[in-house]
Amino acid sequence: MTLLPRLSLALTLLVVFSELSQANILRSSSGSSSGSEGSPSTNVTSNSSTTITTLPIVTWKWHHVETPYLVALWVLVCWLCKLYHSVIFFSPKSGLLIICGFILGGIVWGADKAQTFKLEPRNFFYFLLPQIILDTGYFMPNKLFFSNLGAILVHAVIGTCWNAGAVGVSLWGCYLGGAMGDLNIGLLQFLLFGSLLAAVDPVAVIAVFEEVHVNEVLFIWVFGESLLNDGVTVVLYNVFDAFVSLGGSKINAGEIIKGIVSFFVVSFGGSLIGVAFAIIISLLTKYTGKVQIIEAGFIFVLGYLSYLTAEMLSLSAILSVTFCGVCCQKYVNANMDEKSVTAVRYAMKVFANGSETMIFVFLGVTAIDNVIWVWNTGFICLTILFAIVYRFIGVFTLTWMLNRYRLVPIEVIDQLVMSYGGLRGAVAYGLAASLDETRIKEKNLIISTTLIVVYFTVVIQGLTMKPLVKWLKVKRVEPTELKLIAKVNNRACEHILAAMEDIAGRIGDNWWTRGWKRFEDTYITWFLMKPEARKNKDYLFSIFHKLNLEDAVNYVAEGEKRGSLAFLRNGDRTNVDFDKKFGMEFSGVMPDITSELDYGIDNVPMTSIRRDSIPSVSLDIHEQDMKDMNEDFNAHHLLQQHLYRSRKNHRHKYSRSDFKINQSEDEVQEIFQRTMRSRLESFKSAKMGVSPAKKITKHPKPSQKVRAFRDFEFSEVDSAYSGDAAAAGGTGIENPAFMPEMDTPPPPWLTEVETDTSVAPSQRAQRQLPWSPTNLQRLTPLRISNRSTDSFVMADVPAAQDSPEEPPEDGSQQDGTHM
């Protein structure tokens, strides 16, 4: 959609919308005036006692649809604001939405001279927030979350308490010092204000961290903290609220102890409710196999109920929904049909995204209201200052403490990002708006300040986060460029360290976690998962399944090109040349930030291009060009682009708007495949002796490896499920078109690999080699799943003429390896 139609559409909507709001005012005012005057004749809204003189063909029934209409219209307008993304390059989007809110608020205010539409705390807490938190809980990367839970809790609890206390006390000190003029406010109210302002907001944090790619540990810390600090916030808020009502004199040790106890009760109570609802959901999905359409809906309903239940019991509702999502995701995803799982995921994202948009827009709209604004320069500026400063102090101190126990310390830059990323958001505003103004006389001041702080953090800090990070990263790079071998070694060291961690066992990998895994596997899975789902849990099996799908896709693609021996390049080369071509273009455009931590550089565009297998005609010409390229730049650049990422650099695994953000999963697959290949190679060559024999010069590496890998997988699963595997052997599809090109083969992996890929038959051709009987493995195809994709693989499997005693032997030896 181009700019002009979009603008006109929006304008028409806004005009209609303001008309309606005017009409609304008219109706309500006429309604109220008629009510007060008691004259029915001026009442134009339908009053059943009004007599009609003739049959009305059409009547104006505004009052019937008023509320839902306005709601729907607002939702529509908010979501339309998102269209302006591409028009104005504004990062992050939350800032843009707030500004849209300002504009809309201005329009409404212009029409009504009063702000009729505000972000009501009740609407916010009951209708806009729960789905966002459910979404975050449902998509939470569990392993990462729980392994960092200690650090997250430290930040959430201690950090928030510190923030609340420090800000409150400092402001009080400044007030006493006279920096704010005359206010009707006391220490307790300052502490209350501090507590509602202390909490880092999950909505705002996600919105910003999506733009700035940070490593996963940092991400999960900030993210987890923003979710879990709700427990603390709720407690502090309620405690100080109660204290304010009690009055300062009645606070003694007993009350304080009660406050501390209430913290534990609220947090653990909320979490337990969430877990209880998660169990209910999992159990339910176990039995809803027959009602697949509706089973997706249960998650939402029960998630919402968990929120409301916790709220009803005055426990922490956010914690409840979070743990509900976190605990149920595994079982629900296993129990439900694939389509239902997809439906749930998409629906969650729609709701969460939609709510988030609305929240930010309304945050903007609410500002355009002259009633709430009380401007006190000292108060506002000092608040912002203290909020930021104490956040920095808190984060740095706590991280310093935590670093002493960490395998890899969190670096200063990450700590900076963490501190800077402590954004406040709508939750703070909601809490402020729900203050009781009879008890807290300066409610408007508090609301104004909260709004200013929220705008400041979301807009300004959000805007500057990305450039700041980039600038810091650049500063960090060593002034003299590292040599290639050093870079390679650096990355290799990261891999080595990760491996050593795994070998030596991480700190978390101890009796506790192993015991829990055992308990979970035996009892909980039995209780909460469908029997079929339990069997399919096997990790290896899922990889196998994915490979089958891949094979199937390749098979079809190949079939289209078949018959053409003039097909000069195999699929691999085609892809890569495409990559080279784009590598060239990109190299000019991209800033030369030679970073290992891969902060701001977005690899995504390259990846998506690479996956396209559009053969380019002028491949040769490109190759010539490459040789003339500046080799220096190319090599460093290539390295930086293509080195596998180590655990340290994996991207964060959660995104509000994107499903496939976890690219590292593809890498992991690749690495896993390769490892399997090479293991198989070495194993086989050890077993069978290397038979040099004929060299097959036309073997591009990947194809034989894929074949070998699949065979390997077969043996794996075969031995594991030997009971179930039917002994049906499929005959391979002999492909005469490709046979002549092959010599009589020894198993290809035993020959020396030629890197000559000038003229290569397609990948698929390799797979149809008839195997000699000395060839190992299975070939008892897998009959576990009845998914149609498997049939492709069956068809390709060569005849099963082999010694049956070999496979079980190999299989059993390898069996223990992957479970």
- Nearest distance from residue 655's CB to another protein, in Å? 22
- Chain residues 527-546 in contact with another protein, contact rule CB under 8 A: 539
* Residue from 1, 485, 589, 617 binding another protein (CB under 8 A): 485
CA distance 157 to 224: 11
Residues in 249-268 that interact with another protein by CB under 8 A: none
- Whether residue 119 contacts residue 487, with contact meaning beta carbons closer than 8 Å, is answered with no
Whole-number minimum distance, CB 102 to another protein, in Å? 46
Among 645, 586, 639, 591, which Cα is nearest to 610's? 586
Distance in angstroms (rounded) separating the CA atoms of residues 529 and 150: 28
Phi, psi of 123 (to 5 degrees): -60, -40
Query: d(Cα 274, Cα 271) in Å, to the nearest integer?
Result: 5
Query: Looking at 384, 474, 576, 593, which residue binds another protein (CB under 8 A)?
Result: 576
- Distance of CA 207 to CAs 213, 461, 657, 690, 750, Å? 12, 12, 10, 57, 52
Separation between Cα atoms, residue 261 and residue 255, nearest integer Å: 10
> Does residue 598 belong to the site contacting another protein (CB under 8 A)?
no
Cα torsion angle, 280, 285, 286, 287, sign? positive
Identified binder of another protein from the candidate list 176, 408, 460, 795, rule CB under 8 A? 408
Distances in Å between the alpha carbon of 453 and those of 236, 366, 449?
A: 19, 14, 6
The answer to whether residue 142 forms part of the interface with another protein (CB under 8 A) is no
**Binding range to another protein, per CB under 8 A, among 253-261, 288-296, 487-495, 733-741:** 487-495
Residue with smaller CB distance to another protein, 203 or 217: 217
Does 686 bind another protein (CB under 8 A)? Our answer is no
Helix (H, G, I), strand (E, B) or coil at 384: helix
Site for another protein contains 497 (CB under 8 A): yes
Quote the radius of gyration of the chain (alpha carbons, Å): 32
List Cβ neighbours of 38 (8 Å cut-off, separation of 6 or more).
Answer: none
* CA dist list (Å): 627 to 46, 572, 632: 82, 20, 12
Helix (H, G, I), strand (E, B) or coil at 781: coil
From 133-141, 160-168, 330-338, 572-580, give the range in contact with another protein by CB under 8 A. Answer: 572-580
Can residue 490 be called a binding residue for another protein (CB under 8 A)?
yes
Site size with another protein, rule: CB under 8 A? 71
CA distance 747 to 764: 16
Give min distance, CB of 111 to another protein, in A.
57
Select from 9, 401, 496, 726 the one that contacts another protein (CB under 8 A): 496
Identify the residue among 112, 572, 741, 806 touching another protein (CB under 8 A). 572
Find the shortest distance in angstroms from Cβ 353 to another protein: 32
Instruction: Indicate the Cα dihedral angle 474, 475, 478, 479, nearest 10°.
Output: 100
Assess 690 for contact with another protein (CB under 8 A).
no
Q: What is the DSSP string of 22-42?
A: HHHHHHHHHHHHHHHHT-GGG
Residue 35 vs 508, nearer CB to another protein: 508
Which CB sits closer to another protein, 187 or 668? 668
Q: Which of 668, 737, 750, 799 binds another protein (CB under 8 A)?
A: 668
What is the three-class DSSP state of 70? helix
Q: Is 679 in the site for another protein (CB under 8 A)?
A: yes
Residues 58-117 contacting another protein, CB under 8 A: none
What is the contact mask toward another protein in residues 702 to 721, using x (rule: CB under 8 A)?
Answer: x-------------------
Contact segment (CB under 8 A) with another protein among 123-131, 441-449, 568-576, 585-593 equals 568-576
Work out whether 810 is an interface residue with another protein (CB under 8 A).
no
Neighbours of 530 (CB within 10 A): 17
Place of tokens 């099963």: 800
| 3-class state of residue 425 by DSSP | coil
Of positions 83, 256, 412, 486, contacts another protein by CB under 8 A: 486
Q: Give residues 742-761 in contact with another protein (rule: CB under 8 A).
A: 755, 757
482 touches another protein (CB under 8 A): yes
- The binder of another protein chosen from 488, 553, 728, 733 (CB under 8 A): 488
Backbone angles phi, psi at 596, to 5 degrees: -90, -25
Q: Distance between CA 175 and CA 388 in Å, rounded? A: 19
610 binds another protein (CB under 8 A): yes
500 versus 728: smaller Cβ distance to another protein: 500
Q: How far is the CB of 413 from another protein (least distance, A)?
A: 14
Output 502 or 734, the one with its CB closest to another protein.
502
- Give the shortest CB-449-to-another protein separation in angstroms: 42
Q: Between 217 and 235, whose beta carbon lies closer to another protein? A: 217
| CA distance linking residue 357 with residue 359, whole number of Å | 5
Compute the least distance from the CB of residue 407 to another protein, in Å.
Answer: 5
> What stretch of H or E contains 160?
helix 160-176
Instruction: Count the residues in the chain.
Output: 819
Binding to another protein by CB under 8 A, coded x per residue (else -) over 612-651, reads -----------x--x----xx-xxx-xx--xxx-------
**Nearest distance from residue 254's CB to another protein, in Å?**
41
Q: Please choose, out of 162-170, 415-423, 521-529, 573-581, the segment that lies near another protein by the rule CB under 8 A.
A: 573-581
577 binds another protein (CB under 8 A): yes
CA distance 128 to 318: 12
**What is the CA angle 621-624-625, rounded to 5?**
90
CB of 645 to another protein, least distance (A): 10
Residues of this chain, 330-369, that bind another protein according to CB under 8 A? none
CB of 520 to another protein, least distance (A): 16
Does residue number 502 form part of the binding site for another protein (CB under 8 A)? Answer: yes
CB of 500 to another protein, least distance (A): 5
- Indicate whether 728 belongs to the interface with another protein (CB under 8 A): no
Site for another protein in 763-802 (CB under 8 A): none
**In the complex, least distance from residue 722 CB atom to another protein, rounded to whole angstroms:** 20
**CA–CA dist 15, 335 (Å, integer):** 49
Of residues 313 and 638, the one with the C-beta less far from another protein: 638
Tell me the DSSP string of 507-570.
TTTTHHHHHHHHHIIIIIHHHHS-HHHHHTT-HHHHHHHHHHHHHHHHHHHHHHHTT-TT--S-
Dihedral pair phi/psi, residue 49, rounded to 5°: -80, -10
Listed ranges 133-141, 160-168, 350-358, 401-409: which one lies at the site for another protein (CB under 8 A) = 401-409
CB of 668 to another protein, least distance (A): 5
Residue 627 one-letter amino acid: K
Residue 77 and residue 104 in contact, taking contact as beta carbons nearer than 8 Å:
yes
